[in-house]
Structure 1
Amino acid sequence: MQSASWTGVVLVLLAGLIGAVLAVRLRRPQLAWIGLGSTGAAFLLTAIAGVSAPPAHTVLVAVLAFALAVVGGGPVVLLTLDLATADARTGRHGGIMVAGASRPSTSGTPTAVGQPIEVLRGGTTIGVLERITTAGALMSGLPEGIAVVVAIKGVGRFSELASPEARERFIIGTLASLAWSAALGVLARLYLVG
């Protein structure tokens, strides 16, 4: 029974990773539901079998959970943002368009009041780094590393959070990304210390 459950954990994490890769490649954040379901199933199977898995299963679970945390986080964040902020316009560089104030834009040229500017550019890359660090910190038993990620991200993005739309998107995206990578980092850690 335990061996079948541990194999089940590996298989559902693999299915989640395949779903995440498809979501990224096809640009279909709705496919994030596959990763969400597989992560829930992995926790359920872990509760049934326990975490004292053989070394091969432990390594596979840790690697797959880490990969799913990093790759699957982007579609989960996009799905969450789609559900929460349906009216945000996306810019050319992956940021969102907001009404500009009388200040320099991200390109350094001044913008007229009310002229749309793109903020929160580079969120995809920052999100990947955030999820690598979060899952890695939890897997290594150093959860305080998450505080460093949040601090760096907050300071780095502070100047772009003038509009309510940007603040809302920043908070929702960050929390979705952190929760996703933390859940999978904890799952991997359970097996690593099992």
Structure 2
Amino acid sequence: MSYVGPAWILYALGWFLFVVCPIATAVVAVLAWRRPTRVLTVLAVALILVTLVVAAILPEGAPAVVVAITTVAALLIATAGGSPVVRLLLDRTTFDEREGVHGGIVVGERELLRGGEVIGLLERLAVAGAIIAGFPEALAVIIAIKGVGRFTELDNGAVRERFIVGTLGSWIWAAAAAGLVLLSRS
């Protein structure tokens, strides 16, 4: 396709934004993960939405170097950026539970759902990687491993709620990040 005049400028601006936005989103996502604040989390969400819109309106597939940059940025966004987003979601749904010293919640005398952040990081990396690689069957394996691993802890309503909200938040975030790569290829 030939671009001349103003159309060329819009085309170049679109690809420039598509390279800069995923990098900016990745930087903000890592900052939000390392220094959690609501402002950084909302900024990461806004940046990924802008990047998805830009990717959706670009007229053709990205050059290979742009896809490569986007893939690295998307994996970083999915992995690190999901933690503050999930924390924000959990803060909106957690009621009377006390947080334990290992990141879980205390129910009675037991701390349940320990290690949730580390599991979430690995889960989002696996989900985004499976989507980017075009291997959706892996998603069934990921959710099965997580469900089996947490099965004995899910007998309490608060624990189930936290598990479901955290898992869905993680997966939606990882899928959005992976969507950047899929849109850049089309």
TM-score (norm. length: structure 1): 0.85
1:130 correspondence with 2:123: yes
1:140-171 per-residue CA deviation (whole Å, 9 max, x = no partner) reads 10111111111110010000112111000000
* Equivalent in 136, 152, 157 of residue 159 of structure 1: 152
- Alignment RMSD (CA, Å): 1.5
Counterpart position of 1:72: 81
Deviation at residue 51 of structure 1 after TM alignment: 4.5
Contact 2:56 2:183 in 1 (8 A): no
1:95 correspondence with 2:104: yes
Rounded Cα–Cα distance in structure 1 between residues aligned with 2:75 and 2:59? 19
Which moved further from structure 2: 2-11 or 133-142? Answer: 2-11
Deviation at residue 137 of structure 1 after TM alignment: 0.4
Deviation at residue 48 of structure 1 after TM alignment: 2.0
Rounded Cα–Cα distance in structure 2 between residues aligned with 1:86 and 1:29? 19
Q: How does 1:11-160 map to 2 (within 5 A)?
A: 11-28=20-37, 30-99=39-108, 116-160=109-153
Three-state SS of the structure 2 residue aligned to 1:118 is: strand
Counterpart position of 2:172: 179
Rounded Cα–Cα distance in structure 1 between residues aligned with 2:62 and 2:72? 14
Rounded Cα–Cα distance in structure 1 between residues aligned with 2:18 and 2:129? 20
Contact 1:51 1:190 in 2 (8 A): no
Deviation at residue 55 of structure 1 after TM alignment: 1.9
2:107 corresponds to which letter in structure 1?
A: V
Contact 1:30 1:79 in 2 (8 A): no
Identity of aligned residues (%): 42
Rounded Cα–Cα distance in structure 2 between residues aligned with 1:29 and 1:21? 13
1:45-68 per-residue CA deviation (whole Å, 9 max, x = no partner) reads 112213411222121112111110
Deviation at residue 134 of structure 1 after TM alignment: 0.4
Rounded Cα–Cα distance in structure 2 between residues aligned with 1:82 and 1:160? 20
TM-score (norm. length: structure 2): 0.89
More contact order relative to length (CA 8 Å, sep ≥ 6): 2
Over 4 Å off, 4+ runs: none
CA 1:171–1:51 in 2, change beyond 3 Å: closer, same or farther? farther
Rounded Cα–Cα distance in structure 1 between residues aligned with 2:39 and 2:160? 24
Which moved further from structure 2: 163-172 or 58-67? Answer: 58-67
Q: Which runs of 5+ in 1 are unaligned?
A: 100-115
Counterpart position of 2:161: 168
1:15-38 per-residue CA deviation (whole Å, 9 max, x = no partner) reads 222222221222335521111111
* Equivalent in 1, 13, 25 of residue 4 of structure 1: 13
Aligned residues: 177
Q: Which runs of 5+ in 2 are unaligned?
A: 1-9
